Amino acid sequence: MCVPGTAETVRARFEAGETEPPAPGMSRRAALAVGAGALAAAAMPSGAVAGHRRGHRRRLTDLSHVFSEDFPSFPGTPANSRQTAVTIENDGFYGQTWSIWEHSCTHIDAPGHFIPGGRRSPQLRLSELVAPIVVVDISARAERENDTEVTRADLRGFERRHGRIPRGAIVAMHSGWESRAGSVDAYRNGMRFPGFGVDAVRWLLDRRRIGGIAVDTLSLDHGSSSTFDTHKTLLGADRFGIENIRNLKALPPRGATVYVGVIPWREGSGGPARVFASH
């Protein structure tokens, strides 16, 4: 039994020329079954795939910040708060009560965050939440130009060095911004921080059929944007975005698989997520 969406992904890879064609005499159905098995094995956690290549164990890397009430947030959004509701000493068990803004800390933006009638959190398919992830590193430029954007030239340069961006992939921007997350002022930086350029996102949607994008900053758009064109373009194409991720430096540029554990909040416009990668 395959992971949902596996056969479709394998079929797309055959058609895009990213996998070997069926062997002579092998039916298309059989070829898809073989490819689906390999893809499912590659997507499983480290313990499950330890033996698929002799001596190799896939590593798991956490891409999420610890969710806290004081993590830097987008200006003007509701504040988070928490309090201890019960204690082991008084009640026999421990628990907290939280009041949270859905777009806090490491989280996703579902299409319905910006698009009227767009899909909400419960409508995101499991097959979308497990995907290849590629990492486009603009950290050297971001250090000099805080308000820079991922461009089409960056994406072409990435493909020259690392190969074609897979269909359905999450394309992540590594700007190095996570090092500022301990300070609200440094992380916001006067609302000057990197993001994706709208032309780059259009190219990824039209030419590579990506599943979404991810950033290690507060917003999919660069910080000084007032029109949120990148949000509107991506979410308007029925894709999702991930904001405030970390540890991208630990991932290979290409070849990892990302898992996005978002809670299916009722009518959610997105929500905090535990995001991790296998590589």
135 lies in some domain: yes
Q: Are residues 145 and 211 in the same domain?
A: yes
Q: 96-105, pLDDT tens digit by residue? A: 999 999 999 9
Instruction: Write down which residue in 23, 41, 58 finishes a domain.
Output: 58
CA-CA distance, 148 to 144, in Å (whole number)?
Answer: 9
Token code pair at residue 134: 């590629």
In a shared domain, residues 48 and 160: no
Q: Are residue 42 and residue 171 in the same domain, yes or no?
A: no
Say which range, 36-50, 85-99, 152-166, 210-224, has the weakest mean pLDDT.
Answer: 36-50
128 — pLDDT class (breaks 50, 70, 90): very high
Q: Could you list the residue range(s) of the whole structural domain that residue 163 is in? A: 107-278
- Is position 83 within any domain? no
Q: Which residue has the tokens 């989280």?
A: 107
Q: Which tokens sit at 160?
A: 């020259």
Stretch 30-42: mean pLDDT, rounded?
43
Q: What is the pLDDT of residues 222-255, one digit of tens each?
A: 999 999 999 999 999 999 999 999 999 999 999 9
Q: CA separation (Å) from 186 to 6, 51, 146, 246?
A: 41, 44, 11, 16
Paired with 131 in beta bridges are: 258
pLDDT of residue 56: 67
Residues 6+ apart with CB under 8 A from 228: 114, 219, 221
Task: Give domain status of residue 181, yes or no.
Answer: yes
The reply to whether 216 falls in a domain is yes
Same domain, residue pair 192 and 271: yes
pLDDT digits (tens, 9 = 90+) for 143-181: 999 999 999 999 999 999 999 999 999 999 999 999 999
Q: pTM for the complete prediction?
A: 0.81
Task: Report the domain count for the chain.
Answer: 2
Same domain flag for 28 and 118 = no
Please check whether residue 243 lies inside any domain of the structure.
Answer: yes
Answer yes or no: do 43 and 147 share one domain. Answer: no
Confirm whether 145 is domain-assigned.
Answer: yes
- Domain end call among 58, 80, 98: 58
Task: Identify whether 218 is part of a domain.
Answer: yes
Identify the CATH number of the domain in which residue 145 sits. Answer: 3.50.30.50
Which of 42, 58, 74 corresponds to the end of one domain? 58
Question: Which runs of consecutive H residues, i.e. helices, occur in 145-253?
Answer: 152-162, 184-188, 198-203, 229-236
pLDDT at 34 over 60: no
pLDDT 10s digits, 45-76? 433 344 345 566 899 999 999 999 999 999 99
Distance CA 127, CA 33 (A): 17
Per the domain annotation, does 133 fall within a domain?
yes
Residue 254 shares a structural domain with residue 121: yes
Q: So what's the pLDDT on residue 57?
A: 83
